[in-house]
Amino acid sequence: MLDPSEIYDVEPDAAELLDAARTGLTYAGPVLLHAVRGFIDAGSAGLLAAAHLAQELTTSRLAAFDVDQLLDYRSRRPTMTFDSTTWSAYAEPELVLDVVHDAAGVPFLLLHGLEPDIQWERYAAAVRQLIERFDVPLTIGIHGIPMGVPHTRPLSVTAHGTRPGLVGDHTSWFGSVQVPASASSLLEYRLGKSGHDAMGFAVHVPHYLAQSPFPQATIAALENVQRATGLDLRVAALTAGARAATEEIERQVEASPEVSAVVRALEEQYDTFTASVGSMNLLAEAAGIPTADELGDEFERFLAQQGGDGATH
């Protein structure tokens, strides 16, 4: 492996400020939260979380990764703006680590930007170097995953961690499954193998809303982070956006008896499962109820026919 330290640069002034901010803290160092955009983020749960934290809390740049070494530009082409006769703007991709202060002034770290396309092992080793340099006691990842659940029920999460004690208070929704890897899941795995505490929260997003911004998923993710860390992330600031999204979803559902029936079927399926928690399959069998894929396909067709710029598009 090439030297991991050569794919990122730390801002000297920011590092000194972070060391000063840690003075007097009762724990070893700042928690690291990562919400890197990549393989899957249903409802844009992680993307909206990073944007929310940047808007609501005080942030400063601590380190930046050399994305030229980590991205495949031809598979994920950045956008540029052509204005009449000239190229006027470039949406420069980034992968960065920021120092953020919560509502009470407690510092933590936020890793966000684009998931590396290549050199995952080197990237994971680089993040581990930063974790060890700044005495990070806990690393937490957040994102959304599509599930056959209705938007009318409380959102659940799949919690995972490098040791059982980190997730003991959470229900296990799955047995043993194989899924495509991501840089974030590899990071957690490698951190666990090297003795570091790491965990994550995958919010279950109704899969007919997976391609749309769904602030409710961000709220669920950040509330779980707050409970795990004690940080105050000003989650209440997301309430208005979540309410508007819910109202738009309900408007579209009420406009179609067929879609209302779909949602009721999902509700029945969800309630059947929650009444008999202990099954390892979230999609509990229920006689006469369509499968989650069938329900999702029907709802997606309905939403695609609506057009417009509502919250579910």
What pLDDT is attached to residue 310?
40
Using alpha carbons, list the distances in angstroms from residue 308 to 252, 295, 303, 305.
11, 22, 10, 9
φ, ψ for residue 147 (rounded to 5)?
A: -140, 155
241 - beta bridge partners? none
The beta-strand segments (E) located in 128-259 are 139-147, 157-161, 198-206
What pLDDT is attached to residue 285?
44
**DSSP assignment, residue 283?**
S
Residue with tokens 């067709």: 301
What pLDDT is attached to residue 270?
85
Model-wide pTM > 0.75? yes
Any long-range contacts for 284-289 (C-beta under 8 Å, 24+ apart)?
A: 289/265
Where do runs of H (alpha helix) occur along 151-238?
183-193, 215-229
The beta-strand segments (E) located in the chain are 8-10, 32-37, 58-65, 80-83, 86-90, 95-101, 107-114, 139-147, 157-161, 198-206
d(CA 84, CA 87): 8
81 - beta bridge partners? 89
Residue 266 belongs to a domain:
no
Residue with tokens 């003795």: 195
Residue 278 belongs to a domain:
no
Range of the domain at 50: 4-241
Residue 74 belongs to a domain:
yes
Question: What residues contact residue 74 under an 8 Å CB cut-off, 6+ apart?
Answer: none
Helix (H) or strand (E) holding 120: helix 120-133
Residue 277 belongs to a domain:
no
Residue 230 belongs to a domain:
yes
- Count CB atoms within 10 A of the CB of residue 280: 10
d(CA 195, CA 144): 26
d(CA 272, CA 284): 7
Residue 280 belongs to a domain:
no
Residue 158 belongs to a domain:
yes
State the total domains in the chain: 1
- Count CB atoms within 10 A of the CB of residue 178: 5
| Tens digit of each residue's pLDDT, the chain (313 residues) | 899 999 999 998 887 777 766 665 555 689 999 999 987 899 999 999 999 999 999 999 999 999 999 999 999 999 999 999 999 999 999 999 999 999 999 999 999 999 999 999 999 999 999 999 999 999 999 999 998 889 999 999 999 999 999 998 887 777 788 889 999 999 999 999 999 999 999 999 998 889 899 999 999 999 999 999 999 999 999 999 999 999 999 998 888 888 888 888 889 888 887 776 544 444 444 434 445 555 555 555 555 554 444 443 3
Residue 215 belongs to a domain:
yes
What pLDDT is attached to residue 13?
87
User: For the domain that residue 30 is a member of, what is the CATH number?
Assistant: 3.40.50.10900
What pLDDT is attached to residue 287?
37
